[in-house]
Every structure is written in structure tokens, then in C-alpha cells.
């Protein structure tokens, strides 16, 4: 309760107490939801271990590698330009890395392959079902993107060390070791799809692996120039919208072609684009009717009759009531008294204090001085922040002693943190602004989401 400094205020009647606030503060629970994407085609089927090159040749038991096991490629995308190699010098080439299986002897314990009494390292190994790469220490490479020995594509080993063929994989670490949550696809040769549109295993749904090898998901995206440009939409599982109408990011209706692009957004024309922004009207705040006014703090004058009604309402207080029941009681009390205050014209001391002109404020200060107000009260009165609401105190004293016919009570009513219903709702129109919804090329008409 705030301290009203009026002890030295030479008034016939002293202020007794300030009425405490009975408004109940409630806190809305914060809703936290975790969005997850269910990928329906993650399970790796058992694959034959035969290694087939892109030209159709079958590799018997050897492949040519760099001295590190995997050679670098300057053709890979920015996100996958560095690999923590299993060797020392990625630039050297010509070392032969063998490919082993169990057909020519040896034992496999699930972690190491031993042949002729030696643990095999820096080599591919097939256990009859899955293909592994055995590192310097002989253990399988796991959860890892790395370069294929051909120096042109990227391959992946899952959490069990299995090389992924003809399947999607949820990649958790980039080729540089950074934490990611990407969906990627690896073909018959184990090579990552890069900047490719293709069908999933069902043969019905399209997906797009962008220039970084990541399957587009969860929203609108722009195809690369290699794909002819254009805009597409990918669902959470990576499937593309096609052969249907849809609403774009700004609410406009567009048609998704059979190739997964917005009709008219793809041209296939190769030239230096001259991108221009296309604007649309976006609603940043919906229209609404304001039905309540939030009250942080308000003091009201009370008549003696008001105070009697307050005491009657306060007598309904039940110490055993639930928080919900107590809030309902407080709301009823405040609503009843505010209705009386408005009907009878009780001064809102806080609103008056906020709206005083310099002349009016000086008038009330002079009044306080003339009636021997303490220096402490005057200092608080002059404080721009007025933490103890000294201005309201002086206004109350003025009304109390200059309007005896009103029968003002010695007590005043304080309301805090309350949403007061408005007699007449206030309508607020929608707020709009012009925003860029996409960019287009003046020369060819190609559209894209960002540049």
C-alpha cells in the first residue's frame, strides 16, 4: 500500500487508510508446441553389396582412392565443401583402397573385419547385406557425410555405419560436422541427389533436392536456374504440391503444375535476370472491436454511501475460496463500484492527475502549501514519476474539504491491473502495409521468392 504523506497537512480531518486493490492478476499459460515432421520413407531396405559404377561396371574388390581414402571435390556446394578426412592429404591421389567381403575369408564381429590375422582399415567392407567404410582404427564410419572416392559425389553412412543406397536419410550432421536436421536422398551408387527433382519410392510424389543436396520441406521455395527457375511448395515430408490449386504466402490462389512449380513462374530461359520486387497488400493487424480498457492503476473518490456498499461487498470475502471464486468476487465488487462512480460522477483522481495543465498543477501545489503540507509530500508532488501518487492525495484533500455537500468518505478506492468493460466498444480498422511477396524478372517473367 502506498504511503500517503499527510501527517503535517493541516486539515481538519486526517486521511486514515488507502483502500487496497482487490483486483486479481491472472497469468495466461504459455502454450508451447513442438512441431515434428513424420517422414514415411526412412527405413533402409537391405541392399546387395555389389558396387556398381555409374557407367554400369561391377567392381570386384578394389577401388582407386586418394591417399586419404576419399579425395576432395571442388564441384560440391558451399555447405559441403570441407570433409574431416580419414587420411592426411586429400590432394594426393593414386592409392588403392580395397573392397572386402566374406567370400574370400575373414571374420566380421560387427565392429572390425579381420583377415589373415590383421584388422582391415581404410577400406570398404560388405557383410553380405550392408556396406561399411572401415576407418584408420578399423571401426565403421557412422553418422557421416563424406566424399565418394570418385571425387564427384557425396555419400552417407547412417548411425549403424550402413552406406545408404536408393533411399532417403535424415542427416543430423553436415559434412563439416555442424548439427543439422536435413532430409537427403542417395541413389543406386550411394551418391547424394543435388539440384534434382525426382519421384519418391511410391512413384507418385515429387521431391526436390536443392543445390545443397537438402530436400526442400515446410513451405515455399525457389527452384534453381538449372531447373528452369520458378516457385514450388514442399510439405513437411518433402513431397511437392502438384496438379492442384493452392494459396501462396500472401493468400493469392495459384495453380501448382505437374512438375511442382507455380503456373507461369518457370521459364527455363537462361540469361542474366533483372529482378524486380512485386508488392502486395498484407494485413499486419486484423480489424477488431476493443471492448475493455486495461487499468494499471486508478484512484477514485468515494462517498460515505459508496464506502458502506464497499464494506458490504467486502464482507463476502471467503478465506477458503478458490482463486477463481475470489477473482469472480473481486470482479463483481469492482464492477458494482465503478458503475456507481460513473453514475454519480465520482472523480477519477488518477486520470485528473495525468491530465492536469501546468496551471492546474500549480493551483493544487499552492493549495497544499497553504495548508501546511510537509516538505516530503511536496517533494513527491514535484517528482515527475510521483511513485506514491502524491498529486492524487492533494486533489483528494481539496475535494474532501471544499465539497462537504458531497459527503465524501475519508477513504478512496484503488483499482489495479483490471480490464474494465467499455460502455461503447471502440472499433479499430485493420492495419495494412505493402510488402514484397516475390521477385520477377522483367525480361523473361520468371518469379522467385527471394534474391
Confidence of residue 275 (pLDDT cuts 50, 70, 90): confident
CA triple 264-270-272, angle to 5 deg: 105
d(CA 16, CA 307): 13
Mean pLDDT across the chain: 76
Q: pLDDT at residue 92 above 70?
A: no
Chain-centre distance for alpha carbon 73: 36
CB within 8 Å of 240: residues ≥ 6 apart: 197, 205, 206, 207, 208, 216, 232, 233, 234, 256, 260
151 or 232: which carries more pLDDT confidence? 232
Question: In the prediction, which pLDDT does 97 show?
Answer: 63
Spatial CA neighbour of 238 closest among 197, 191, 271: 197
38-215 carries CATH number 2.60.120.1360: no
All CATH 2.10.270.10 domain ranges of the chain, comma separated, are 38-215
Confidence of residue 183 (pLDDT cuts 50, 70, 90): very high
The residue assigned the cell 492495419 is 431
Question: In the prediction, which pLDDT does 153 show?
Answer: 82
pTM to 2 decimal places: 0.43
Q: Beta partners for 299? A: 414
Do 108 and 124 meet the contact criterion of CB atoms below 8 Å apart? no
d(CA 361, CA 200): 77
pLDDT tens for 371-413 read 999 999 999 999 998 888 999 999 999 999 999 999 999 998 9
Provide the 3-class DSSP secondary structure of residue 309. helix
Spatial CA neighbour of 190 closest among 166, 159, 158: 166
Chain-centre distance for alpha carbon 155: 32
177 or 248: which carries more pLDDT confidence? 177
d(CA 113, CA 101): 9
* Burial label, 274 (beta-carbon count in 10 A; 0-12, 13-18, 19+): exposed
What value does the CA radius of gyration of the chain take, rounded to a whole number of Å? 38
69 or 425: which carries more pLDDT confidence? 425
Do 227 and 243 meet the contact criterion of CB atoms below 8 Å apart? no
Chain-centre distance for alpha carbon 244: 29
Q: End-to-end CA distance of the chain: give it in Å, rounded.
A: 58
342 or 4: which carries more pLDDT confidence? 342
| Cα atoms found within 13 Å of the Cα of residue 8, Cβ hemisphere only | 10
Mean pLDDT of 40-55: 33
Q: pLDDT at residue 74 above 80?
A: no
d(CA 252, CA 248): 5
Question: In the prediction, which pLDDT does 147 show?
Answer: 83
Q: Which of 179-183, 248-252, 344-348 has the lowest mean pLDDT?
A: 248-252
Confidence of residue 73 (pLDDT cuts 50, 70, 90): very low
Q: pLDDT at residue 352 above 60?
A: yes
Torsion over CA: 108, 109, 110, 115 (sign): negative
Q: What is the crossing angle of helices 358-370 and 375-382, to 10°?
A: 170
CB atoms within 10 A of CB 240: 21
Helix or strand holding residue 52 (H, E)? strand 51-52
Question: In the prediction, which pLDDT does 371 show?
Answer: 92
Confidence of residue 422 (pLDDT cuts 50, 70, 90): confident
Confidence of residue 270 (pLDDT cuts 50, 70, 90): low
CB atoms within 10 A of CB 241: 20
Sheet holding 123-126, edge to edge: 62-66, 93-100, 123-126, 131-134
Q: pLDDT at residue 314 above 70?
A: yes
Confidence of residue 37 (pLDDT cuts 50, 70, 90): very low
Do 197 and 207 meet the contact criterion of CB atoms below 8 Å apart? yes
Q: pLDDT at residue 83 above 50?
A: no
Mean pLDDT of 119-126: 91
d(CA 19, CA 349): 14
d(CA 161, CA 180): 18
CB atoms within 10 A of CB 143: 14
Question: In the prediction, which pLDDT does 451 show?
Answer: 63
Amino acid at each position: 500500500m502506498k504511503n500517503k504523506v499527510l501527517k503535517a497537512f493541516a486539515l481538519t480531518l486526517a486521511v486514515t487508510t488507502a483502500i487496497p486493490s482487490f483486483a486479481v492478476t491472472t497469468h495466461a499459460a504459455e502454450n508451447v508446441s513442438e512441431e515434428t515432421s513424420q517422414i514415411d520413407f526412412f527405413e533402409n531396405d537391405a541392399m546387395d553389396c555389389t558396387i556398381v559404377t555409374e557407367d554400369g561396371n561391377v567392381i570386384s574388390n578394389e577401388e582407386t582412392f586418394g591417399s586419404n581414402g576419399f579425395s576432395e571435390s571442388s564441384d560440391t556446394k558451399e555447405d559441403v565443401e570441407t570433409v574431416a578426412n580419414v587420411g592426411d592429404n586429400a590432394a594426393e591421389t593414386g592409392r588403392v583402397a580395397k573392397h572386402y567381403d566374406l567370400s574370400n575369408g575373414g571374420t566380421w564381429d560387427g565392429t572390425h573385419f579381420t583377415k589373415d590375422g590383421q584388422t582391415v582399415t581404410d577400406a570398404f567392407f560388405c557383410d553380405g547385406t550392408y556396406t561399411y567404410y572401415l576407418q584408420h582404427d578399423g571401426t565403421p564410419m557412422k553418422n557421416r557425410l563424406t566424399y565418394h572416392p570418385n571425387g564427384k559425389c557425396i555419400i552417407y553412412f547412417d548411425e549403424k555405419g550402413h552406406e545408404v543406397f536408393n533411399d532417403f536419410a535424415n542427416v543430423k550432421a553436415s559434412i563439416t560436422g555442424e548439427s543439422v536436421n536435413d532430409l537427403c536422398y542417395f541413389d543406386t551408387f550411394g551418391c547424394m541427389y543435388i539440384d534434382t527433382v525426382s519421384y519418391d519410392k511410391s512413384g507418385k510424389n515429387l521431391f526436390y533436392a536443392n543445390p545443397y543436396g537438402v530436400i526442400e520441406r515446410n513451405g515455399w521455395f525457389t527452384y534453381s536456374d538449372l531447373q528452369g527457375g520458378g516457385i514450388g511448395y514442399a510439405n513437411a515430408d518433402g513431397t511437392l504440391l502438384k496438379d492442384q490449386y493452392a494459396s501462396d504466402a500472401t493468400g493469392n490462389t495459384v495453380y501448382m503444375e505437374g512438375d511442382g512449380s507455380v503456373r507461369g513462374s518457370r521459364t527455363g530461359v537462361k540469361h542474366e535476370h533483372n529482378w524486380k520486387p512485386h508488392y502486395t497488400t498484407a494485413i499486419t493487424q486484423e480489424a477488431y472491436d476493443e471492448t475493455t480498457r486495461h487499468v494499471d492503476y486508478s484512484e477514485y473518490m468515494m462517498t460515505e454511501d459508496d464506502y458502506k456498499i464497499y464494506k458490504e461487498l467486502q464482507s463476502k470475502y471467503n478465506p477458503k475460496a478458490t482463486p477463481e471464486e475470489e477473482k469472480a468476487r473481486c470482479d463483481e465488487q469492482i464492477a458494482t463500484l465503478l458503475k456507481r462512480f460513473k453514475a454519480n460522477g465520482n472523480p477519477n483522481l488518477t486520470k485528473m492527475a495525468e491530465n492536469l495543465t501546468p496551471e492546474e498543477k500549480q493551483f493544487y501545489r499552492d493549495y497544499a502549501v497553504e495548508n501546511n503540507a510537509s516538505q516530503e509530500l511536496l517533494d513527491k508532488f514535484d517528482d515527475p514519476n510521483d511513485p506514491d501518487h502524491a498529486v492524487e492525495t492533494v486533489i483528494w484533500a481539496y475535494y474532501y474539504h471544499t465539497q462537504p455537500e458531497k459527503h465524501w468518505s475519508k477513504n478512496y478506492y484503488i483499482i489495479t491491473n483490471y480490464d474494465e468493460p467499455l460502455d461503447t466498444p471502440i472499433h479499430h480498422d485493420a492495419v495494412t502495409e505493402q510488402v514484397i511477396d516475390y521477385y520477377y524478372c522483367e525480361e523473361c517473367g520468371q518469379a522467385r521468392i527471394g534474391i
